[in-house]
């Protein structure tokens, strides 16, 4: 079976770098129009839009901070105006935040991680779902993390946001199922992108990270993007309300490999 998304209109948040960029390009290669949301670096969005158009599909560039509900509403109004709506939404925009223990962390910084990673996904999902439930078709895919399950020292906001995203996914899936709309999540492990550069560019940090990955290497953004395309397509027509882990086994407790 060939996996394709011909004629679909997909909005990807945080689409101008890392995993989001790989997702946007893979969607275009599968035949979908792609609306690229970004917040900084418009040149990168422009370059990706040109590559998308080179695949013979449409691209739209949408600058909006997903943590601002008004900006999100305006963004969806723009897609509605240009394309008449979206069929598929990928909530990818996210920030790790700065490593800090919870009793030392700056409160505004902690809140910002929740606002982007969790509230932002919710603001976008609710806008997208309005159209999807009316049309009785559509998919919302939330990019979560292995940290929806694994606690992460120094990153309490991030892990909390991703755990929240998991329950948000299940609850939205329950609400949307009878309207023919799927809502699911994909949880990447350690993927080689700018967000984790401080780890993979430091040999000692990288070798520590690799002990946590049974597969023995970091993931490539394309390995995430391929699974995103699959989960958005009809190949996954019976998958909803769950998180698919794409993590090289990171959630398998590798420290237990040789017994407890």
Chain positions contacting ligand BGC, by CB under 6 A:
96, 145-147, 189-190, 195-196, 199
Nearest to 185 by CA among 83, 68, 94, 61: 94
- Say how far residue 253 (Cα) sits from the centre of its chain: 24
Instruction: Tell me which of 155, 158, 238, 253 is the catalytic residue.
Output: 158
158 is catalytic: yes
Q: 43 vs 255, which CB is nearer to ligand BGC? A: 255
Cα–Cα separations (whole angstroms), residue 136 to 41, 48, 69, 168, 176: 35, 31, 24, 20, 9
As measured in angstroms, the least distance from the Cβ of 26 to ligand BGC is 19
Q: 21 vs 147, which CB is nearer to ligand BGC? A: 147
Alpha-carbon span 93 to 108, nearest angstrom: 19
Q: Which position's Cβ is nearest ligand BGC? A: 145
As measured in angstroms, the least distance from the Cβ of 190 to ligand BGC is 4
Q: 20 vs 138, which CB is nearer to ligand BGC? A: 20
Alpha-carbon span 3 to 108, nearest angstrom: 43
As measured in angstroms, the least distance from the Cβ of 250 to ligand BGC is 7
In the block, residue with structure tokens 């027509």:
237
- Say how far residue 76 (Cα) sits from the centre of its chain: 17
Q: 15 vs 146, which CB is nearer to ligand BGC? A: 146
As measured in angstroms, the least distance from the Cβ of 87 to ligand BGC is 27
Neighbours of 42 (CB within 10 A): 13
Catalytic residues, by residue number, are 158
């Amino acid at each position: 079976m060939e996996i394709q998304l011909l004629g679909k209109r997909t909005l990807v948040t945080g689409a101008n770098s890392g995993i989001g960029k790989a997702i946007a390009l893979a969607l275009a290669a599968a035949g979908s129009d792609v609306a690229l949301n970004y917040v900084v670096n418009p040149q990168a969005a422009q370059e990706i839009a040109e590559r998308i158009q080179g695949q013979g599909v449409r691209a739209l560039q949408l600058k909006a901070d997903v943590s601002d509900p008004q900006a999100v509403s305006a963004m969806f109004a723009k897609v509605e105006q240009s394309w008449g709506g979206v069929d598929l939404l990928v909530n990818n925009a996210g920030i790790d935040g700065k490593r800090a223990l919870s009793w030392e962390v700056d409160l505004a910084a902690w809140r910002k991680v929740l606002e982007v990673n969790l509230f932002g996904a919710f603001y976008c999902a609710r806008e997208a779902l309005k159209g999807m439930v009316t049309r009785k078709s559509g998919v919302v895919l939330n990019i979560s993390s292995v940290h929806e399950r694994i606690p992460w020292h120094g990153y309490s906001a991030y892990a909390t946001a991703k755990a929240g995203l998991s329950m948000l996914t299940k609850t939205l899936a329950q609400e949307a199922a009878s309207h023919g709309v799927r809502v699911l999540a994909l949880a990447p492990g350690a993927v080689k992108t700018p967000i984790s550069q401080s780890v993979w560019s430091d040999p000692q940090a990288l070798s520590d990270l690799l002990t946590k990955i049974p597969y023995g290497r970091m993931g490539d953004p394309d390995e995430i993007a391929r699974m995103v395309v699959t989960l958005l397509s009809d190949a996954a027509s019976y998958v909803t309300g769950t998180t698919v882990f794409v993590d090289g086994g990171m959630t398998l407790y590798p420290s237990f490999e040789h017994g407890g």
